[in-house]
Amino acid sequence: MQLKIAYSPCPNDTFVFDAWAHGRVPGAPRLDVTFADIDVTNGWAESGTDSHDVLKVSYAVLPWILDQYALLPCGGALGRGCGPLVLTREPGLDLRGRTVAVPSERSTAYLLFRLWAAETVPGGVGEVVVMPFHEIMPAVRDGKVDAGLVIHEARFTYKAYGLHCLADMGEHWESTTGLPIPLGAIVARRSLGAETLRLLADSARRSVRMAWDDPAVSRPYVMEHAQEMDPKVADQHIGLYVNEFTADLGEAGYAAVRGLLTRAAAEGLVPPLGPDALSFP
């Protein structure tokens, strides 16, 4: 069996899937890998016409796709102290009426931003501009936008651009809910059937555990796709986003996903979830 999968070139994804993608997970289906930004994979999943069997997507897009895709209970990015940041050139900037760059309007980062802004920016922000996440910090630095919502390794590198952290979306989420932060999810087509879905979940778990057991094996794959990232930053990235929730969402992980999507639905930001929408075969 060979399945088509799409995930990002970010270090957490390449670290998680290295063993599986290179045929080192016994009994796992062979993978035909496509690398794509999460805004692209979100769009593929939502269109319902993409031919990929497995996708890395934002948790925020789940309400639109769970009729066709099942959430795998492992392989994704969810944790604490790892939320998106709002960056500006000037500290303490008032965002009312300001232009803000975001990585995707279907991203979890944007959902967390909307929930934060509803509570802290009276009257709301101005124009929201979608751009690839690696273009956001230069755009803020160069004055093309007033602020930027950033994810991933930008947590470790934004000061090099002369930028300031206006707010931490994850800190706000954790302080108001007590829950970890749901960021990226692994989903697979329901049409694959329950047996194959369980095999996929098992393969993802074994792949991440193999990466933990011998991190040096995954290093060439990680750095090949890390877009000239400093190896130390790549290690920080992996350490932050690959954690116990990557191996198994568990009760706390599922509570975080339900909490985010229920709260967003109450604000009219996403459709409400059905009672069994997150269930896994």
Q: Is 194 part of any known ligand binding site?
A: no
Active-site residue, 152 included:
yes
Strand partners, 4: 32
Judge contact between 170 and 113, C-beta under 8 A: no
Q: Is 57 part of any known ligand binding site?
A: yes
Q: Is the dihedral of CA 66, 68, 74, 76 positive or negative?
A: negative
Q: Is 58 part of any known ligand binding site?
A: yes
Q: Is 77 part of any known ligand binding site?
A: no
Count Cα neighbours of 79 within 13 Å in the Cβ-side half-sphere.
19
186's tokens = 């692994």
Q: How large is the C-alpha radius of gyration of the chain?
A: 18
Judge contact between 246 and 74, C-beta under 8 A: yes
Q: Is 108 part of any known ligand binding site?
A: yes
Judge contact between 212 and 239, C-beta under 8 A: no
Catalytic hit among 22, 52, 134, 152 = 152
Q: Which residues in 19-56 are b (16+ Cβ under 10 Å) and which e?
A: bbbeeebeebbebebbebbbbbbbbbbbeeebebbbbb
105's tokens = 């309007």
Binding site, annotated residues for substrate: 56-58, 108-109
Catalytic residues: 152
